[in-house]
């Protein structure tokens, strides 16, 4: 066990895939109890089965759409008593849609990105953090992005949502000053997950081309960073971790010399 997280209750949004699922596996190896949240319940169930078999992880499924303020509030409020005391909230659920120039943007895509990446993250924070304040214990980890720092063609709304995550992370730390609650914003560069499949709505060729000829980060690389952040001593707040592939230097500067 790399770190001992026994008896720690950790809620992960976006646990059905990519970074969230990798994070669940790494936290499972450390003995944490996990609340697994996302919309696709069957994916959460199979992850839960795997975690139970591999590490005897205690899990609770919390299927929900973070875009619904009412569902988020009711789901968190309705958690069984033994799951109410959340030690770590990992606000990871998020997505991009399309790469259209702003002047031709699809309104529905904008709504989905803003409602998920910004408002959904806020709804979860609003539902969970008051309990942390009451208990005077907790840690919020937000998954931002390199996109907060580098605006790229067609990415302006997604980039704006991740800039918002950066500002909301800073703001939460400011508002929690005087409490022991910590706030971390992880800013990954390219990570190979379902992210590009979702962005290009199942156009696999286009999705694969995002990572072609370069070595992208794996979801485990980011789970490592999350684990590092939440296992520092109580007086250490890792505010930001900016993690990019060696083959990437900015949103658009990518070394693809490794071939097709
Ligand atoms: P994936 O597409 O693999 O995972 C996204 C997760 O978010 C899924 O579990 C999905 O679950 C969940 N999700 C999406 N929309 C909602 C919603 N409305 N309600 C609840 N859950 C939702 O991508 P990643 O693992 O790559 O993405 C995780 C986070 O990392 C995102 O915030 C993304 O912006 C960020 N990120 C990704 C990078 C990358 O290159 N991949 C780089 C930088 C940041 P479900 O569909 O079941 O609801
Ligand atoms: C995801 C990374 O560069 O595709 O946040 O926007 S990028």
Average pLDDT over the chain reads 98
The span from the first CA to the last CA of the chain, in angstroms, equals: 39
Ligand nearest to the CA of residue 193, numbered in listed order: 1
Distance CA 219, CA 133 (A): 30
Neighbour-count burial of 178, counting CB atoms closer than 10 A to its CB (0-12 exposed, 13-18 middle, 19+ buried) = exposed
Number of domains making up the chain: 1
CA distances from 99 to 14, 95, 157, 200, 202 (A): 22, 12, 9, 8, 14
Residue 258 counted as domain residue = no
Residue 257 counted as domain residue = no
Atom of ligand 2 nearest to the CA of 210: 4
Report the residue among 44, 67, 93, 240 best suited for mutation to probe ligand 1: largest number of ligand atoms under 8 A from its CB.
93
| Strand, coil or helix: 242 | strand
- Catalytic site includes residue 152: no
Per residue in 188-243, pLDDT (tens digit) is 999 999 999 999 999 999 999 999 999 999 999 999 999 999 999 999 999 999 99
Residue 3 counted as domain residue = no
pLDDT of residue 258: 87
Q: Which of 108, 120, 116, 147 is nearest to 251 (CA)?
A: 147
Å from CA of 178 to ligand 1 middle: 32
Domain membership of residue 19 as a residue range: 9-243
Å from CA of 158 to ligand 1 middle: 12
Atom of ligand 2 nearest to the CA of 195: 1
Q: How many CA atoms lie within 13 A of 233 on its CB side?
A: 1
Residue 155 counted as domain residue = yes
Residue 250 counted as domain residue = no
Atom of ligand 2 nearest to the CA of 189: 2
* Domain CATH code at residue 184: 3.40.50.720
Per residue in 107-151, pLDDT (tens digit) is 999 999 999 999 999 999 999 999 999 999 999 999 999 999 999
pTM, full prediction: 0.98
Residue 23 counted as domain residue = yes
Catalytic residue among 55, 123, 158, 211: 158
48 touches 61 (CB < 8 A): yes
Q: How many CA atoms lie within 13 A of 179 on its CB side?
A: 20
Distance CA 162, CA 257 (A): 29
Residue 260 counted as domain residue = no
Residue 145 counted as domain residue = yes
Distance CA 15, CA 5 (A): 18
Distance CA 90, CA 11 (A): 6
| Protein residue closest via CA to atom 5 of ligand 2 | 145
pLDDT band, very low/low/confident/very high, at 260 (cuts 50, 70, 90): low
Q: Which of 34, 36, 52 is nearest to 44 (CA)?
A: 36
């Amino acid at each position: 066990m790399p770190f001992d997280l026994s008896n720690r209750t950790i809620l992960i949004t976006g646990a059905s895939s990519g970074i969230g699922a990798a994070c669940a596996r790494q936290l499972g190896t450390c003995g944490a109890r996990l609340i697994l949240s996302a919309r696709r319940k069957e994916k959460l169930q199979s992850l839960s089965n795997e975690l139970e078999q591999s590490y005897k992880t205690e899990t609770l499924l919390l299927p929900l759409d973070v875009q619904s303020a009412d569902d988020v509030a009711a789901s968190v409020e309705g958690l069984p008593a033994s799951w109410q005391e959340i030690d770590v909230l990992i606000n990871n659920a998020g997505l991009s849609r399309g790469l259209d120039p702003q002047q031709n943007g699809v309104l529905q895509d904008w709504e989905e990105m803003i409602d998920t990446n910004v408002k959904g993250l806020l709804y979860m924070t609003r539902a969970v953090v008051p309990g942390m304040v009451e208990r005077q214990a907790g840690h919020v980890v937000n998954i931002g992005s390199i996109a907060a720092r580098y605006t790229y063609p067609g990415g302006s709304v997604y980039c704006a949502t991740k800039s918002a995550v950066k500002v909301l992370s800073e703001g939460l730390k400011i508002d929690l000053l005087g409490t022991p609650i910590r706030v971390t914003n992880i800013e990954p560069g390219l990570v190979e997950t379902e992210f590009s499949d979702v962005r290009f709505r199942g156009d696999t060729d286009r999705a694969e081309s995002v990572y072609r000829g370069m070595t992208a980060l794996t979801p485990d690389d980011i789970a490592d960073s999350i684990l590092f952040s939440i296992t520092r001593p109580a007086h250490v707040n890792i505010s930001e971790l900016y993690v990019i592939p060696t083959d990437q230097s900015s949103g658009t500067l990518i070394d693809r010399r490794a071939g097709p």
